[in-house]
Amino acid sequence: MSKHPLQFLEVPRRDPEKEAAEERVQHFGEIYGHYDAADAAQQAGRCLDCGNPYCEWKCPVHNYIPNWLNLIEQGKLFEAAELSHQTNSLPEICGRVCPQDRLCEGACTLDEMGAVSIGNIERYITDEAVKQGWRPDMTNVVATGKRVAVIGAGPAGLGAADVLAREGIHPVVYDAYPEIGGLLTFGIPPFKLDKEIVRQRQELLEGMGVEFVLNTRIGEDIPFEDIVNDYDAVFLGLGTYKYVHGGFQGEDLPGVYDALPFLVSNVNRQLGLDRNPDNWINLAGKHVVVLGGGDTGMDCNRTAVRQGAASVSCAYRRDEENMPGSRREVANSKEEGVNFLFNRQPLEIVGGDRVTGVKVIETRLGEPDPDGRRRPETVPGTEEILPADAVIIAFGFRPDPADWFADHDIEALPSGKVRVATHGDMPFRTTNPKVFAGGDMVRGSDLVVTAVFEGREAAKSIAKYLGVR
């Protein structure tokens, strides 16, 4: 039976239930529930099939969204899972962590009336299909005998490994950490992404023939020279790990923490990877000020709340409209009791033996900067001190080229990002013809889905380079 053309008017958007704030702050688990088959089919059926799938274009991996929505509406779960994996290596993860309001759902024709819940349906497809026994179909893959080293098991490396395996090329993925995922595991907190989901993805990839070598830092445990010599090609997905600091006084006071070590110490404790209490940054009972308005800042806010901080305030130098953090995560932080202080620029972190506060000044928005974002200007005479006994600096990350790049003709740009081909038939190839790169180390700190896209595209270039495509 064909669906009613105005079904979207009769069926409102309905997201899986979100746990109440008072309850979810008591634990670190995910906060959203799941669709069942009927919910997913009904919500997928809201797609207008408008003929101009802007959602596909806005999705960085160009998922075949209307097609898998249609399959889900018909109850064809395994077909939808197979199709979803043709363009995305981590669909269940992107469905959870993509800022959909800025990407696919923001471009949905129904946006004003409640966009189709694309992210939730994408997550449902793989979660449910795997639960029911679906595994990626590798029956047509022909082994080529080629071997490629993938350095970095973050989204870029996993995207590359997925495509390489499907091309019949054996990927061996190295990572310095004891678990795969990069920032998926050692960055994004478990209340946004359950770490079991990342482990499940490891099993799926291993089932496809991907080999992981963990706890191994290339350049230290194994020289890069050996990797280049031992493999037919190399993919680099090393991420960006140099912290951006404010350059103001007091940043080195005890009680001031960089965002990532704070988040990682919490995950390490949760996963049982580090049981030494001295390595755990626990802010229970503290008055915490988080500096920065991006996703990392939101994750720090919400982690501090869950640790039992006495109060959490988040200071950001622009207004709410101009915050870089996903709207969903800002809203979740507010619901969980975070106090936002907009238009406040930090001047200094104050204290004696340890931090006691942050001196801030009010700002107003001036002329746009070269990126089109209005530059904050300080308002003289508005300085104040925000009392704090812990401060977290979440100003982001900068690319940090490895010292071995230069020895292997891998050029970096003055910004520190690795130079790759952007045109021609082998995009994402570095200045060393045997070495390809993608993800945050190429584009700067960005998103999971953009890193997946670049890893996948680089793998297609590697296949061409090896003559198997």
Nearer to ligand FAD, 71 or 300 (CB): 300
Burial class (CB in 10 A: 0-12, 13-18, 19+), 125: buried
Q: Which of ligand SF4, ligand FAD, none does residue 336 bind (CB under 5 to 8 Å by kind)?
A: none
**Least distance in Å: CB of 289 to ligand SF4?**
32
Q: What's the chain's length in residues?
A: 469
Sole window of 12-20, 142-150, 347-355, 437-445 interacting with ligand FAD (rule: CB under 6 A): 437-445
**Segment 185-204, which members bind ligand FAD (CB under 6 A)?**
187-188, 192
Nearer to ligand SF4, 63 or 332 (CB): 63
Q: Which residue is nearest to ligand FAD (CB)?
A: 154
Closer of 251 and 446 to ligand SF4 (Cβ) = 446
CB-based contact 154:239 (threshold 8 Å): yes
Specify the residue, 46 or 269, whose C-beta has the smaller distance to ligand FAD: 269
Q: Which of 25, 41, 44, 61 binds ligand SF4 (CB under 6 A)?
A: 61
DSSP string covering 259-326, please?
A: HHHHHHHHHHHHTTS---GGG----TT-EEEEE--SHHHHHHHHHHHHHT-SEEEEE-SS-GGG--S-
Contact stretch for ligand SF4 (CB under 6 A) within 44-52, 96-104, 161-169, 281-289 = 96-104
Distance CA 87, CA 159 (A): 10
How many angstroms separate the CA atoms of 388 and 392, rounded? Answer: 10
Closest CB to ligand SF4 among 115 and 358?
Answer: 115
Indicate whether 390 belongs to the interface with ligand FAD (CB under 6 A).
no
Assign 339 to helix, strand or coil: strand
CA–CA distance, 273 with 282 (Å, rounded to integer): 16
Among 263, 314, 420, 426, indicate the residue that binds ligand FAD (CB under 6 A): 263
Query: Both tokens of residue 169?
Result: 């090329």
Sign of CA dihedral 313, 314, 319, 323: negative
Instruction: Work out which of 94, 169, 309, 459 binds ligand SF4, going by CB under 6 A.
Output: 94
| Residue 151 DSSP SS3 | strand
Cα dihedral angle (97, 285, 311, 388), rounded to 10 degrees? -110
- Nearest one of 18, 35, 16, 31 to 128, comparing CA atoms: 35
Select from 34-42, 55-63, 212-220, 245-253 the region that touches ligand FAD (CB under 6 A).
212-220
Q: Single out the residue of 44, 59, 184, 205 in contact with ligand SF4 (rule: CB under 6 A).
A: 59
Q: How far is the CB of 98 from ligand SF4 (least distance, A)?
A: 3
Stretch that binds ligand SF4, among 39-47, 93-101, 327-335, 397-405 (CB under 6 A): 93-101
Beta-carbon-side half-sphere exposure of residue 155 (alpha carbons within 13 Å): 28
- Rank residues 98 and 412 by Cβ distance to ligand SF4 and give the closer one: 98
Report the residue number, 79 or 122, with the smaller CB distance to ligand SF4.
Answer: 122
Cβ atoms of residues 165 and 173 within 8 Å:
no
Of residues 432-451, those binding ligand SF4 (CB under 6 A):
449
Residues 97, 90: contact at Cβ < 8 Å? no
Distance CA 325, CA 244 (A): 17
Contacting ligand FAD within 342-371 (CB under 6 A): none
Question: Which CB, 376 or 439, lies closer to ligand FAD?
Answer: 439
Backbone angles phi, psi at 196, to 5 degrees: -65, -30
329: Cα within 13 Å, side-chain hemisphere:
28
- 61 vs 161, beta carbon nearer ligand SF4: 61
Residues 6+ apart with CB under 8 A from 256: 250, 349, 355, 390, 391, 392, 393
Instruction: Quote the DSSP letter at residue 408.
Output: G
Does the footprint of ligand FAD cover residue 118 (CB under 6 A)?
A: no
Query: How near is the Cβ of 31 to ligand FAD at its closest, in Å?
Result: 13
Q: Which H/E stretch holds residue 40?
A: helix 37-44
Binding footprint of ligand FAD, residue count (CB under 6 A): 37
Q: Which stretch binds ligand SF4 (CB under 6 A): 117-125, 251-259, 341-349, 401-409?
A: 117-125
> Nearest approach, Cβ of 59 to ligand SF4 (angstroms)?
3
Interface with ligand SF4 (CB under 6 A): 59, 61, 63, 65, 88, 94-95, 98, 100, 103-104, 118-119, 122, 449
Interface with ligand FAD (CB under 6 A): 97-98, 151-157, 174-177, 182-184, 187-188, 192, 217-219, 237-239, 263, 295-296, 299, 439-440, 445-449, 451
